[in-house]
Structures are given as structure tokens and as C-alpha cells.
Chain A
């Protein structure tokens, strides 16, 4: 209402109404308010407190714990199966390798799980991260708190990375314990035929956990990027799984072998580089570079979309 004429027009049309301008001046007539205190300072531990809350939510949620339990069972089942089969002396290859040393079950378990089951667990948690909060409506309250969009995204991603490493560590620990119970401990024979001490073997398991976890972190970033585009968590989760499976299909087509190094799942299995003598650091490094590229690209997309998104759920 900029001109007196329009004020008049409105007054005529709506008799008895006080024009907006008058409301303003009546507000000004109120006694002077005390100057508001300085804005409360951001607490130094605020980021970690929110991350703690996020981790608590993730690791108390029955669904997520059930997934950890499932991946923990697989090495036990694989171990027992191999232990039964190993009685048959004629078996060779993988069975002989695993039955010959307690540490080998960890690598066998990774190769069974790393292409499907572990990616499922990670994409459930990461795909649910933003979409789940949006679907439940809690996202609007987190942002009004105000959690801050970039901060929330960072916390959600770190949480998914921690969960990915937890899944990887659970698989390794379960396999290690099962292996130590069922199979002989001692020096480990590598794929290249040379033998390393048990301590060296454990170190190599640690390296492979670090590597596989990094792969899960890259997948988590992809799932997050999908998660910011939807309010239906199952959409982001299924979308990530479809990507993983499409990659497997592409890998199976020989004519498309040129694509293979760029597909994320191709790099998941490179953890077996630790079974070479010496460790094939080249394979590990190029895998890590690929993971880094996926993480950078996915998180950039997620941030670019989420930071300006209208939250209408």
C-alpha cells in the first residue's frame, strides 16, 4: 500500500479496516523494548553432538541392528559349510585355502558379501538418511531447530560412513572369530604362494577392512545423492541397488570391458590386492581414487540440490 489513494480505496472497500500503515505506527507507539541480548553463541561441540545423536538413532534402530546381525551370520554359515566340505581331501582352490588358515575366511567372506549384501545394508542407511526424515516430516523440525542444511548433510554422510565401516568390521570380526575356532591358526599362505606371519596376516585384514569400508563410503555417497531428491526412502534405497546391479550386468558384458574400471562395484573386489606379495598398492590406490571421485561428485550433487530445496513435506 504505497499511495494514499490505494489506502483510501481499501478503506472504502472494507469499511472499518485499519490500513496497514496505521498498524505499523501503532506498533511503534509501544514502549521501547529492551535491546535483545546478543545471539546465543554456537557451541563448540554442536557438530559432534548432532553426529552423536545421529549415530545413536542409527545404532538403536532395530532395522539397522538386524542388518548387522544378518551380515554377521554369513561368515559363520560360510565357515561351517567349508569346514564340513573340507573333510573331503579332493577339494582344492578356495576351500583348501580357507580350511588351511583361520585368517582366510575373512577374505572369503568379503568376496561373498561385498557385491550385494553389504551394499544393501549401506544403501538402506544412506538412502534413508534425508528421504526418511523428509517422509516422516522430522526434516522440517530439524531444519527449523536449526540444524543447518550443510551441517545436516555432513552429519548424515559421516553417519552413513560409520555404519558402512561398522558393517565391514562386523563381517571381518565374525569371520575372524569363526575362522579361529574352526581352522588352524598360524602363518598364512598368500595367493602368490609366499607365506606371511599371522601378525602380518592380521595387518592385511585391517588394510582390507579400511579399503572395503572406503568402497562402502563411496556407495553411501551415491545413495545420499539419490536420497535428497525424494521423500520416499525406499525410492532412494531401491535406486542405489538398481545402480549396483546394473553395474554388475555391464561388467558381465565383454564388449563393455572399457567401462569396467569406472564402475564402482568393480573396485569393491580389489581388496584381494592385500593377498599379493608384496601388497598390490597400485590396485588399492586406483580403487581409492575411484571412491574419492564418486564421493566428491555425489556429495556435490547432494549438496547443490539439498541446499536450495523447498522442504514441503
Chain B
């Protein structure tokens, strides 16, 4: 590991480490600003941010397509030339040769990987096409593929070899709901097999459903990163009660030790570790007419709004 010594004191279990990663484009625009990112191995890591927040530039720097102005990044603790054959990538949408078939396109990109054994190319390409459900269209020219098929072919290209890390930039772009579900299932399956998945998205709900970890970018800066639990953990789970006896309900909740009791259209409070069913029983026991009872877990959207005080897509 001479040229590819991992930078700094990064833990060996990190799939991606960046330190002070900065990209200033000519003209002075700062696309990525002093990014310190750590993606643990084995995680499904959501890289969130509005369009134009520097996600794609970060991914391009990770893949060595764009040189950082300052700072460093390392993949799998290896030099880039050693790491890239173990990394599958989807960057800013699919790009293929329109006059070649799907299969011939994959053969082309497989040939570009100096570590890929030519002998098993046919078999690996077949498997990759099979995994994304494109076997039937393997011989069709890319020109005639639908947007969804193009996206799947790009994912197949990222799965050509045994990968330790998948970097997927907006993998569900252009897919219909069915295709989106399939991609989510595929990501889960890949992650279950031990591959780290780094997935960028501007869709909060998507990241919430797929990821174990997340980072949030905003105008080139990292706003937050951590496990999904830690990210939303700070905002406590609340109960919300629909009742005509609001004042009485609020009294009972306060008496039970629930905090941040608010009375509005309905009555809500943070659970503070109480079991919701006991809270409900106590309310009913005190004669409060409970019409509706809900446990509200904080969503990433709440976290994002809490962090920035703004809606998610405002920077788009």
C-alpha cells in the first residue's frame, strides 16, 4: 500500500473518506466546500441535497474525473487505480453508444477495466443484465431503449464485476414507480451481500426508505451526517391525540411526564420513552374522549427543515 496509503487517521472500516475536500471551478464558484465525509463499510449511505448542492461534483472527485482544488479523498483505503475496479458507478445518468446493443455496450465498458478477466466477460455481462431485468433486451440497440431501460443498463454496468462499493448518482431518475421500487429492492439486495452503497438523491423519502446512514449537503457544504437513527433521533417521537377534551388531555399528558405538550387543533407531546399504549390507556382511564391517537416519528424532512429552516427544494 505504498502510493495508496489511506489518508490521515481514517478508520480501516471506511469505504469513503474525504477530508477538507474542496472544488472551486474557474470563475470562483465553489461547488464543494471543505467536505469531511466518512462512509462506513457495509452502510447504505444516502447523500442528500437539493439539485446544485455539490453532490455530483463530489462524486466526480471521488471517481477521479474532477481534481479537487484542496483536500483529499480515498476510496476503500486504496489508491484510486486500485480502488476503481472494485467500485461500480452511475454518474449523472446513463451514457452509452447508441448504435451498439445493450450487451455490446457492457462489453465495451468491461474492456476498459484493466482488471476484468476477458474470459468471464460474457458470463458477467449476462448476470448483470439479468439482475436489472434486461436479458430480453440485451441484443436491442441502445438507441431504441426507453429511459427506464437506459437507467437499468447503467446500473448493470455498475454491477459488471464483484464490487465492494457502489456509487449511484440519482439512480431512480426517470424511472416509473415500479422501476423505482425495483431499484430500491436491488440496492437492498446488493447491500445485504456486503457491498457498501453510496446513493445520492434529492428525494428525502427515497433515502429514508433505503439508507442506514445519510449526509445532507447544502450549497456545497455538509450540513449533517450520521446514522438515520442519529439524524432523526434528536427530534423526539411525538404522540398526537385528536380529542374534544383538549385541556384535560394536556393535563393528563403533563401528569404522565410527557414533555413539550402543545394544544392546537389536536394535542401533541413528545413521548420521552413512555409506551404509547400506556399513554392511551391513561387518557381513556381519566375519561378523555380519544377520537384519534397517533405516534409520529420524525422524518428526514423535519430534520432538514430543522437544520436549514427551509423547505428542501428551495435551492434547486
Contacts and interface: CB of A to CB of B under 8 A. Distances in A.
A14 B113 CA distance: 44
Contacts of B60: 140, 310-312
B11 A145 contact: no
Interface stretch (A18-26, A106-114, A217-225): A18-26
B288 interface: no
A308 interface: yes
Contacts of B306: 14-16
Nearest to B1: A39
Contacts of A143: 63-65
B147 interface: no
Contact of A42 (B115, B164, B222): B115
B157 A26 contact: no
B36 A20 contact: yes
B290 interface: no
Contact of A146 (B76, B85, B95, B100): B85
A24 B65 contact: no
Interface string B79-114: 011111111010111011111100000011111111
Interface size on B, as a range, is: 35 or more
Given A22-B230, A33-B12, A312-B66, A39 B78 contact: yes
A88 interface: no
B67 A140 contact: no
Interface of B is mostly: mixed
A252 interface: no
A30 to B, nearest CB: 6
A32 B108 CA distance: 37
A33 B42 contact: yes
A47 B303 CA distance: 49
A146 B113 contact: yes
B114 A27 contact: no
A146 B80 contact: yes
Given A16-B306, A57-B108, A146 B99 contact: no
B112 A50 contact: yes
